[in-house]
Structure 1
Amino acid sequence: MIKHASLFSQLIALIDRKKFHELVYQHQSERFAKKFNSWEHFVAMLFCQIAQAKSLREICGGVACCMGKMKHLGMKKAPNKSTLSYANAHRPWEMFQDLFYEMLATCKMATPGKHKFRFKNKLLSLDSTTISLCLSLFPWAKFRRTKGAVKLHLLLDHDGYMPSYAYISNGKKHDVTIARTISLSPGSIITMDRAYNDYRLFALWTEDRIYFVTRLKDNADYEVVKNFKVPQKRNILSDQLIRFTGARAKKDCPHDMRKAVVWDNVNSRQIVLLTNHLDFGASTISAIYKDRWQIELFFKALKQNLKVKTFVGTSENALYIQIWTALIAMLMVKFLQFKSRFGWSLSNLVAFLRWNLFTYRDLWEWIHSPFEVLPIEPQPVQYSLPLQVPGQHLY
């Protein structure tokens, strides 16, 4: 007797079915549905992400090949290509967005208690990645004359390197526009690259006791108010208190800022950092900005291990559903990574899950000992041949 469902079934069990159906009712996702419900739609799109199905045909065919194991998933039958395509084009993507935040609340319970730094402030990174699209297939995603694109804006929490905020926009929307809409708690430290330089935003954050670490623009006009002592045998070249002197910069940001020049040994160059935090040492400011690289690694892992570069639908709604499902799948994988004692890398965990999606074994034992927990095989059925009557052939 098989005591466990497939790994895929146990992975999907991380979703609270009650909250899922509440979201379905809230967004009226099944208002005109007849047979293919929202749960079956979500399972099919999650299968697309974990199994890395490249087309609607592969999703429907892959699910159909495993229909004997689909009852554990709450599916009656595999969808047709036209049915799945219509659902992607017409069902509200906002439901998948809200499901992402529901899953995020579950994952936060398993994240490490704090980041690697000694200070207790919440540390965040803000950045965006551009997803290139073919303009002839995605005419709604106009970016340049001959190119299409959308942007995925992400706020990464360094407590476990989990995304705490995500937003999808067209490729033309400026990063600063999104940064102005993000709500941050007082005392938080947010690090970002030079694309987010906005003096009015810097002043607003300073007045709200929100700290930032970014790179100073090359053409910034300022005067040095005070020179701080530089730590010995570190990569800090200078540490200064500055005040902006440009007419517009002085008006938008009248507060004193801190400028630290850091030597980058890897690329043999100077990096000029700007921050409104006046108490931390220059070495700590440098380490905070260096840890911003984790959001770049998150984007890299998302694009390499899940389906966010090629899409199974060309409508805006279908693309948004696929990206939000990819983010939900990433949260699930990160949750397993936190719970495991094996020390998985994220790419290896995704690959091993893909190879063992429909094997029968206990998920939680498997993530601790993937090479020791063997799959459970069903007992073979014994068949007996009928007795042969003299003078009669069996075939």
Structure 2
Amino acid sequence: MFPSEFLKEHAEELGVVERDCKLQIPAFVWAFVFGFAAGESRTLAGFRRSYNATADEPISPGGFYNRLTPSLAEYLRDLVEVALDEVAVPDTVDADFDRFRDVMVADGTILRLHRFLADAYEPRKGEKGGARLHLLHNVTDQTIDRFSVTDEKAHDSTEFDTGPWLKDQLVLFDQAYFKYRRFALIDENDGYFVSRLKSNVNPVITGELREWRGDAIPLESEKVDDVVDELYRQYIDVEVEAEFQRREYAGTQSWDTKTFRVVGVRNKDADDYHLYITNLPREEFLPADLATIYRCRWKVELLFRELKTQYSLDEFSTSKKHVVEILLYAALLSLLVSRDLLDLVTEQADDELGFHQNAGRRPSGRTPNSSFTNSVNTSATLRHRCWNG
């Protein structure tokens, strides 16, 4: 993934190191990627100790901290971009999803920072700085496809771009991404989406996609929110017409309409419906299928949990913006490299051998490991030792 010559040459291009510098940049990079035990705190002193245990010549504390520059943050971000193109752990999604090129989940998580960073990373409230990490999680390949970092006030929705890349993709959204125009653009780019229906929208029903026997309440021409409380059927499956504004063009912004599908699955415990909006066809995806598909959104929550508990993504004691970025990109690199290691392990393992959550022994008091972590931790240790010669 990261040949030593590539690491050296790119570091020289960005001015991270000079050609005659004694710093060993491959050891420097791997110290940040593997320089802490999963679930433990990440400290700059710990990264320096890791480097000194690996490199030919040790580096002093002052020399190490002087290397933590904005150009190093840019360098590590570039490595994350490279890794995104390389890493995939395939065959993790059920066969029901075979018709899609990939299943994606868009989401974001908040990282709490030092109060001195409140100007660089503006929080929604309070005195402490707040950054927001936006991810497009590829559920099919169990990796990250896209990422961005903004201040906390930036809305998740602004970081999702539509375009031709959506062809044959299925994207799962929560209500933070809800926009009829976004859904229309996904459909027009031959992609698919499933989202929870936002509570403050009330589209008009233009047709029912399932016939009901007996004295069923007719839904056509009604608005979803106006009738949903009167229904007791197990499923709702209707077409709705949504009105939205197109993007401004030549100084004018026109209105448009689009037909989508709204599905309701009755939640017996709460005595109400989980409502979803989608462009998936009923012929292939029944209401119960939609509810099952949407549960894949939980995968991104597990990913955020893994980043925060295993790779200490939300532990930032520094008041320097570029050091925060260095630690953030280092955590993403640790995650992506661990995925690559898992792929290598599973390729060599017997078919009967499984890699599952909480495999093996766990020290008492530790946070439970997420999927893959035990095998990945062992592999990371082995790879670090092998690289060290």
Pairwise TM-score range, normalised by the shorter structure: 0.7 to 0.9
Q: Please say if 1:257 is aligned against 2:278.
A: no
Q: Please say if 1:164 is aligned against 2:169.
A: no
Contact 1:262–1:286 under 8 Å retained in 2: yes
How far does residue 273 in structure 1 lie from its aligned partner after superposition? 0.6
Pick one of 59, 78, 82 that aligns with 1:79: 59
How far does residue 256 in structure 1 lie from its aligned partner after superposition? 0.2
The residue aligned with 2:11 is 24
Secondary structure of 2:116's counterpart equals: coil
Q: Distance in 2 between matches of 1:117 and 1:227?
A: 25
Across the two proteins, how many residue pairs are aligned to each other?
339
The residue aligned with 2:321 is 316
Pick one of 110, 118, 121 that aligns with 1:141: 121
The residue aligned with 2:157 is 176
The residue aligned with 1:4 is none
How far does residue 158 in structure 1 lie from its aligned partner after superposition? 1.6
The residue aligned with 1:328 is 333
The residue aligned with 1:237 is 235
Secondary structure of 1:117's counterpart equals: helix
Kindly report which structure 2 residues correspond to 1:249-328, keeping only aligned pairs within 5 A, or say none: 253-264=256-267, 269-279=272-282, 280-311=285-316, 313-328=318-333
Secondary structure of 1:45's counterpart equals: helix
Contact 2:114–2:316 under 8 Å retained in 1: no
Q: Please say if 1:104 is aligned against 2:107.
A: no
Q: Quick one: structure 1 residues 34 and 296, their matched pair in 2 at CA, closer, same or farther if it must change by over 3 Å?
A: same
The residue aligned with 1:389 is none
Task: Give the TM-score, by structure 1 length.
Answer: 0.74
Task: Give the TM-score, by structure 2 length.
Answer: 0.75
Contact 1:50–1:353 under 8 Å retained in 2: no
Contact 1:85–1:313 under 8 Å retained in 2: no
The residue aligned with 1:58 is 46
Q: Please say if 1:211 is aligned against 2:216.
A: no
Q: Distance in 2 between matches of 1:30 and 1:254?
A: 55
How far does residue 360 in structure 1 lie from its aligned partner after superposition? 9.8
Secondary structure of 1:136's counterpart equals: helix
One-letter amino acid of the counterpart of residue 206, structure 1: D
**Relative CO higher for 1 or 2, CA cutoff 8 Å, sep ≥ 6?**
1
How far does residue 53 in structure 1 lie from its aligned partner after superposition? 4.4
Secondary structure of 1:256's counterpart equals: strand
Q: Quick one: structure 1 residues 281 and 327, their matched pair in 2 at CA, closer, same or farther if it must change by over 3 Å?
A: same
Q: Distance in 1 between matches of 2:311 and 2:13?
A: 28
Runs (4+) off by over 6 Å = 246-250, 355-363
One-letter amino acid of the counterpart of residue 77, structure 2: Q
| Structure 2 residue runs without a partner (length 5+) | 214-232, 248-252, 347-352, 359-368
The residue aligned with 2:355 is 343
Q: Distance in 2 between matches of 1:357 and 1:146?
A: 38
Instruction: State percent identity of aligned pairs.
Output: 19
Q: Distance in 1 between matches of 2:163 and 2:62?
A: 38
| Structure 1 residue runs without a partner (length 5+) | 1-13, 364-395
How far does residue 345 in structure 1 lie from its aligned partner after superposition? 3.0
One-letter amino acid of the counterpart of residue 191, structure 2: I
The residue aligned with 1:94 is 74
The residue aligned with 1:8 is none
Q: Distance in 2 between matches of 1:360 and 1:95?
A: 22
1:189-215 deviation per Cα after TM superposition (whole angstroms, max 9, x unaligned):
100100001222222222212211111
Q: Distance in 1 between matches of 2:262 and 2:42?
A: 48
1:100-155 deviation per Cα after TM superposition (whole angstroms, max 9, x unaligned):
232333322x5227554244212111100111123136542221342321111111
Contact 1:202–1:253 under 8 Å retained in 2: no
Kindly report which structure 2 residues correspond to 1:115-126, keeping only aligned pairs within 5 A, or say none: 115-121=94-100, 122-126=102-106
What value does the CA root-mean-square deviation take over the aligned residues?
3.5
Secondary structure of 2:150's counterpart equals: strand
Between structure 1 and structure 2, the one with the greater Rg is 1
Q: Quick one: structure 1 residues 89 and 29, their matched pair in 2 at CA, closer, same or farther if it must change by over 3 Å?
A: closer
One-letter amino acid of the counterpart of residue 29, structure 2: F
Q: Quick one: structure 1 residues 314 and 243, their matched pair in 2 at CA, closer, same or farther if it must change by over 3 Å?
A: same
Q: Please say if 1:39 is aligned against 2:35.
A: no
